[in-house]
Structure 1
Amino acid sequence: MIEIAVAKGDGIGPEIMEAVLDIFKAAEAPLQYEFVEMGKWVFDKGFGNGMTPEAKTTIEKLGILFKGPMETPKGKGVKSINVTARKTWNTYANKRTFQTLHGVNTVFSKAGIPIDVTVVRENIEDTYGGIEHQLTEDVAISRRLITRPGSEQVIRYAFEIARQKKARRITCVHKANIMKITDGMFLNAFRRIAGEYPEIAADDIIVDDLCMKMVTRPETFDVVVLTNLQGDIVSDLCAGLVGGLGFAPSANIGDNICIFEAVHGTAPDIAGKNIANPTALLLSGIAMLQHLGLTATAAKIENALLYTLEQGIHTGDFGDKIIPALNTTDFAARIIANFGKQPNAGARTAAADQPVKIEVPVLKENQLIHSSEPATKTLAGVDFFIDSTLQPAAIADIAQKYSTDSLPLINLSNRGTQVWPGGSKFTVLVDSYTIRFEAPEGKTITQQTIIDLYTKLAGEFQITSVETLLELNGQKVYSLAQGQ
């Protein structure tokens, strides 16, 4: 027996989890469950991270969490339990598979256009760090963290998935035309790793172009890999192509701990009514069985599900309205009754189960991932963010008093657009400016140089944030202002 942790979730979570576990039991899946306390009701008991210490210990011992949808309390200043779990256990890759399901009618299924897209989303970086600050009464800032080692982890996983799937194509989705440093780092990692997989056609596309093409010709895509926020949006778009979030499975993959969950919400309006659709959670559970080496059991359940859908059997959220909808329990029972039957399309075959032994290491300290080829780092300048309602020329007059040959004042920008020197009177301003000082080529500065300058400027302005400007191996790795 393979032990796994199970969290039933909030809202409809307990109902759909019970239905899925009943299907697993009927299929004789060799699983043993340790039920753990997570979710909104755990927040309400005073646990700020949404899980009890015992739940955390159990999950870190077993390495597998199967969870229902969970709600994060609103207006209480707490972080999402779903994001917290993924980040805490470094489940760096979110894999979602979107396939045409016969019996689930969509525009594309009616047109005879098959969809089989695997989205691999970076899962723990980007804006999901939730690192936000309000700089002034009118300006807030969110830090978007993209790391080279984190990008390499998820991209390499995506290529491995493409290899296993025998994919014809893998596509990196990005916005590197605008976010040249962050998305540029992600795209460059993709291009480097693509060289390790010469048998797979690798290309890239800007995210807005992808969205347009995904809703017009989704059959042309195979495996796509994206950063976190873009991946969140695109994966929900893909769910819409195959029938909605009720058919969207999710696997959060880490080196030590993995989380399998449905991506839809808790649907509190129908909680307790036994009418929710358990398909997304069941598909996530099937992915978990495959991950655990229980491939034959997974195929048995998936074939029964596909056969059931082909017969027009459905819950109230989809399907032919002429055919009466089943409740959650009866829908699960029909799947069980269809064990051993083969769907007309997409039947799965698999070798006998070969259970994988999950071994979670006992760690004495945190792992640090770092580039294998560290760069030569040089301080090139500094950006000071200030709170001010003065005009650009007035700010420049003050800042220029502290401009030196080794660290001269370069420009002022407002919302990323240069407003001094030059600029346009038609540029509308807010109360947050960036003052940039940048060393000339060949000049060197130190942190103390920046601290001394900070001390002087602090006597003139309310400084809200400071960013140092860096060169790596002689290359500037900071953005220019629009119009600079």
Structure 2
Amino acid sequence: MMRRSSPLLRRLVSRASEGRRSVTYMPRPGEGAPRTVTLIPGDGIGPLVTGAVRQVLEAMHAPVVFETYEVHGDMAAWPPEVIESIKRNKVCLKGGLATPVGGGVSSLNMQLRKELDLYASLVHCCNHPGLPTRHDNVDIVVIRENTEGEYSGLEHEVVPGVVESLKVITKFCSERIAKYAFEYAYLNNRKKVTAVHKANIMKLADGLFLESCREVAAKYPGIKYNEIIVDNCCMQLVSKPEQFDVMVTPNLYGNLVANTAAGIAGGTGVMPGGNVGQDHAVFEQGASAGNVGNEKLVVQKKANPVALLLSSAMMLRHLQFPSFADRLETAVKRVIAEGKYRTKDMGGSNTTQEVVDAVIAKLN
């Protein structure tokens, strides 16, 4: 009996030593079917980093099929067929889109968020072992209201030389982003939610946002809640970021806070994120893609694919493919920890393709 069971025992020990898990996820029937995802390569480095994601997902044999559409930031509006594709597929992976500064067409990013009601933006800013940063123990999730505030685009010239810009804050949008933040904290075993505001000056607009956050916080007694003025928040972020856990913000502040937190934790090139609504989700680089228009990165093919690869892991988890998400995330983090293959923003000199090849090698 002992001799018969020995080969089985050796196989089990071997699997355990390889770090494999025998049971990770019990899907409902049909959940393993391949999912179609809308893919928008975008502008600048977008095609490079979305191409990197495609290579890695193909190497993993991930159950994802892409519908690809060419969209560029200088377009006046989204082509109807692209919007129809995202509505049909429910999920989109997107490279950065260049947004004109000053006059010209309106931001396609804002158009998409409003069209699909992607009211919550989530950026996960955390340290990665092997990537040195000024601060340790940074693990911040910035949840930003995505559809109103200063981004409403309600501007007009009253008289020549005088422009009026309206900041719109509603009870409905403030409540639902607060609920999303606390629900996220609850489901992800987070301990604290911090509301970022400027209610000392914008007493009605930001006051309404705070009132909504307080009402929602009262329904989650197990999660600590506090508030911080946005200018103090930025100072605290760069001096003691480890004090923050989940942060919930109005639209404009969230953009500033997320990029600051990303810079502290290793840079925008390694921070994943996405935009989500009731019915649809769009995954993209978490913090502002400031290098979208960097032609040098495009010519040298040295754009950092890490942020979008980690966003793709978030996408796979959203699609209920957790084992694939874990495998991708683990491979990316192993490459970062090893430190042999890094793009310039991470202190190296490697190309996008060299980083991709290293990630694929770590998948097995």
TM bucket (normalised to shorter chain) is 0.7 to 0.9
**Structure 2 contact 36–89 (Cα < 8 Å) conserved:** yes
Residues 21-420 of structure 1 mapped to structure 2, 5 A cutoff? 21-40=54-73, 43=75, 48-49=76-77, 51-73=78-100, 77-108=104-135, 113-262=136-285, 263-265=288-290, 266=292, 267-321=294-348, 325-340=349-364
Shift of 1:122: 0.4
Q: Give me the whole-angstrom Cα distance separating, in 2, the residues matched to 1:195 and 1:314.
A: 47
Gaps of 5+ in 2: 1-33
Q: Name the SS of the counterpart of 1:318 in structure 2.
A: helix
Identity of aligned residues (%): 36
In structure 1, what residue type is equivalent to 2:40? A
CA contact (8 A) 2:192 2:245 kept: yes
CA distance in 1, matches of 2:165, 2:51: 39
Q: Tell me, in whole angstroms, the C-alpha distance in 2 between the residues paired with 1:74 and 1:160.
A: 35
Structure 1 residue 305: Cα displacement: 0.7
Alpha carbons 2:73, 2:107 under 8 Å: kept? no
Task: Kindly provide the amino acid, as one letter, of the partner of residue 354 in structure 2.
Answer: D
Contact 2:344 2:350 in 1 (8 A): no
Match of 1:167, SS state, is coil
Q: 1:11 aligns with which of 44, 48, 51?
A: 44
Counterparts of 2:273 and 2:114, CA distance in 1: 15
Separation in 2, partners of 1:63, 1:290: 14
Write the deviation string for residues 233-266 of structure 1: whole angstroms up to 9, x where unpaired. 1110001101211112221010011111114141
Deviation at 1:76, TM superposition (A): 5.7
Preserved contact between residue 101 and residue 309 of structure 1 (Cα < 8 Å): yes
Name the CA distance, whole Å, in 2 between partners of 1:65 and 1:81: 14
Q: How many Å separate the matches in 1 of 2:157 and 2:179?
A: 36
Name the SS of the counterpart of 1:237 in structure 2.
Answer: helix
1:274-326 superposed Cα distances (whole Å, 9 cap, x missing partner): 211111111111111111111111110111111111111333323455xxx32
Structure-2 separation of matches of 1:275 and 1:339? 22
- How far apart, in 2, do the equivalents of 1:63 and 1:38 lie? 18
CA distance in 1, matches of 2:161, 2:55: 53
Residue 75 (structure 1) shift: 6.1
Distance (Å, rounded) in 2 between the aligned partners of 1:212 and 1:71: 29
Shift of 1:270: 2.1
- Note if contact 1:2-1:31 (Cα within 8 Å) is conserved in structure 2: yes
Equivalent residues of 2:269, 2:345 under 8 A apart: no
1: CA distance between counterparts of 2:268 and 2:108? 19
CA shift at 1:220, angstroms? 0.9
> Tell me, which stretches of 5 or more residues in structure 1 are unaligned?
341-484
1:104–1:242 Cα contact (<8 Å) kept: no
Name which structure has the greater RCO, CA cutoff 8 Å, separation 6+: 2
Q: Are the structure 2 counterparts of residues 187 and 166 from structure 1 closer, same or farther at C-alpha, using a change threshold of 3 Å?
A: same
Query: What is the rounded CA distance, in whole Å, between the counterparts of 1:196 and 1:74 in structure 2?
Result: 42
Structure-2 separation of matches of 1:74 and 1:95: 24
**Whole-angstrom CA distance in 2 between matches of 1:314 and 1:142:** 46
Q: Residue in 2 aligned with 1:442?
A: none
Partners of 1:22 and 1:203 in 2: CA distance:
43
| Residue identity matched to 2:360 | I
- State the distance in 1 between where 2:148 and 2:327 align: 36
Secondary structure class of the residue paired with 2:343: coil
Aligned residues of 1:103 and 1:319 also touching (Cα < 8 A)? no
Question: Alpha-carbon deviations, 1:354-409, whole Å to 9, x = none?
Answer: xxxxxxxxxxxxxxxxxxxxxxxxxxxxxxxxxxxxxxxxxxxxxxxxxxxxxxxx
- Provide TM-score, normalisation by structure 2: 0.87
SS of corresponding position for 2:228 = strand
Counterpart amino acid of 2:217? A
Aligned mates of 1:218, 1:13 — CA distance in 2: 30
TM-score, reference length from structure 1: 0.66
Pairwise CA RMSD: 1.5
